[in-house]
A and B are shown apart, each in its own frame.
Chain A
Amino acid sequence: SQQGEEDPQALSIQEGENATMNCSYKTSINNLQWYRQNSGRGLVHLILIRSNEREKHSGRLRVTLDTSKKSSSLLITASRAADTASYFCATVLNTGGFKTIFGAGTRLFVKA
């Protein structure tokens, strides 16, 4: 099964509201990363949080990591229509090679 699972699968909010997405994973991690993907395009790296960090900020993004619960959350504050995209969490497994596993993703729609 997927290393990272995300919820909700889809989220629709008004511009200006906050959006929260959650990710759970199964094995121990070195770090957890969040990526954004606009429709049908490549992924853009948003933020990386290491296993010894609990919270990290980047602009309007806030990521938390709870290694005891094997979960992470991504908060986007004061959302904009341009934030409409799919958001994926990702972890890397070292199983003799470094294999990146993506969560199922959350599709965010921000209404203007």
Chain B
Amino acid sequence: DTEVTQTPKHLVMGMTNKKSLKCEQHMGHRAMYWYKQKAKKPPELMFVYSYEKLSINESVPSRFSPECPNSSLLNLHLHALQPEDSALYLCASSHPGLAGGPSYETQYFGPGTRLLVL
């Protein structure tokens, strides 16, 4: 199985809502990533998990809360978002490097969740 799945595909939420995005992979990857992508822009890294531990947080606002409950799952909890947070949220995973965890190697992306904050 070389697929990364993401749910939901689309999400519309109000600024007071709490919602979660989910990502799953069964490739045995121990590095998982969240990216945010605005229209006509490249993906921007938000978080990196290595062996289920947060290794990179790119100064993301606390209204985004990542969670990695096990080696196959990655969640992104959303609370009190702003309209400017509307974007495509992409999850990715990669093989561990020689030292384990994230590496220079290829990332496998899910199809993304299209989020609209009203």
Contact = CB atoms under 8 A, between A and B. Distances in A.
Interface of A: 2, 30-31, 33, 35, 40-45, 48, 88, 92, 94, 97-105, 107
A19 B40 CA distance: 19
Interface in B1-45: 4, 6, 31, 33, 40-45
Contacts of B111: 41-42
Given A31-B104, A92-B104, A98-B102, A103 B42 contact: yes
A97 B42 contact: no
A99 B114 contact: no
Contacts of A43: 43, 90, 92, 107, 109
Contacts of A40: 88, 112, 114
A73 to B, nearest CB: 18
Interface of B: 4, 6, 31, 33, 40-45, 48, 50, 55-56, 58, 88, 90, 92, 97, 101-112, 114
Contacts of B101: 98
A-B residue pairs, 7 tightest by C-beta? A102-B42, A98-B102, A42-B109, A97-B56, A30-B104, A43-B109, A42-B111
27 contacts: A30-B104, A31-B104, A33-B106, A40-B114, A41-B111, A41-B112, A42-B4, A42-B90, A42-B110, A43-B43, A43-B90, A43-B92, A43-B109, A92-B103, A97-B50, A97-B56, A97-B102, A98-B31, A98-B48, A98-B101, A98-B103, A98-B104, A99-B45, A99-B48, A100-B107, A105-B41, A105-B42
Nearest to B56: A97
A2 B45 CA distance: 12
A42 B42 contact: no
Nearest to B101: A98
Nearest to A44: B109
Most chain A C-beta atoms within 10 Å of own C-beta, residue among B56, B103, B104: B104
B45 A48 contact: no
